[in-house]
Copies of this chain bind each other. A is one copy, B any other.
Amino acid sequence: MKAFTTKERVAFFETDAAGIIHFMFALRYFEMGEREAMRTIGVKIGDVRRGGTEFPRVHLVCDYHRPLYYDDVIEIRTVCRAIGRSSITWGHQIYRDGELCISGQMKVVHVDSQTGRPRRVPDAWRAHLLGD
């Protein structure tokens, strides 16, 4: 599986009173990983959205292995685990200094933004996302 990598820093608004990143904001990294993976294969999600496709999430799993702290430099490694007729399942891993801190997966469905009905994932994406 092809891995896509994005760098980011933990922001202060993402920390909580326990001194570590609040669990909610792991999802910000997942979304960033998806966006940048798509950009790498030449697809801007914003353009696809303007073309009338939305990407609602239907299933999410997230495991928190180690805490992240303010200003940590993190690496978001994203792979496309599976593509169904109209769904894409992404796997995300968040590393800091080579240590896995958060991992998870996120299944998204492509739907027509007018009708809400599922749309077929373009074949070109399959090749680009799953190819080695």
Contact = CB atoms under 8 A, between A and B. Distances in A.
A69 interface: yes
Given A18-B54, A62-B60, A64-B57, A35 B12 contact: yes
Interface in A57-81: 57-64, 67, 69-71
B60 A56 contact: no
Interface footprint category on A: 35 or more
Q: Which residue, A17, A54, A60, A63, has most C-beta atoms of chain B within 10 A? A: A17
A45 interface: yes
A20 interface: yes
A125 interface: no
Nearest to A19: B17
Interface of A: 11-13, 15-20, 22-25, 27-28, 31-32, 35, 44-46, 49, 54-64, 67, 69-71, 104, 113
